[in-house]
């Protein structure tokens, strides 16, 4: 039983660290766009899949709040034109909000 608990803790840590990595990757892409870089459907597809897969992993681990936000990010990157910026901010969907939630959850596991 104890081994299963340790394994779940490790899986949770890995998933939370992956969220932080996804935040950083997404931030770099957005910075590139702001600096005049070209929009990339391929990159947005990869981001959509990454955020969606993170949502599934977090849901399996019982981290429902963060899973919901990652799922929404996955939907966003599948088609950004479908989302209003104000809605995303009100829903706590800013990357900084997601990273803070992941960092807080990670600290609770330590």
Residue 32 lies in domain? 2-109
Average pLDDT over residues 44-57: 98
Verdict on whether the full-model pTM lies above 0.85: yes
Evaluate whether 38 touches 88 at the Cβ level (below 8 Å): no
DSSP string, 49-105: HHHHHHHHHHHHTT-HHHHHHHHHHHHHHH-GGGS-HHHHHHTT-SHHHHHHHHHHH
Total domains, the chain: 1
Evaluate whether 16 touches 105 at the Cβ level (below 8 Å): yes
pLDDT on residue 4:
66
Q: Give the pLDDT band of residue 87 (cuts 50, 70, 90).
A: confident
Each residue of 60-69: pLDDT tens digit? 999 999 999 9
């Amino acid at each position: 039983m104890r081994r299963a608990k340790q394994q779940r803790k490790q899986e949770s840590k890995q998933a939370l660290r992956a969220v932080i990595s996804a935040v950083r990757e997404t931030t770099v892409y957005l910075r590139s766009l702001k600096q005049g870089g070209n929009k990339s459907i391929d990159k947005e597809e990869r981001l959509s899949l990454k955020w969606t897969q993170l949502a599934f992993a977090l849901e399996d681990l019982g981290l429902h709040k963060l899973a919901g936000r990652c799922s929404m990010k996955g939907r966003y990157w599948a088609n950004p034109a479908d989302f209003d910026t104000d809605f995303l901010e009100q829903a706590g969907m800013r990357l900084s909000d997601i990273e803070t939630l992941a960092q807080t959850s990670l600290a609770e596991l330590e």
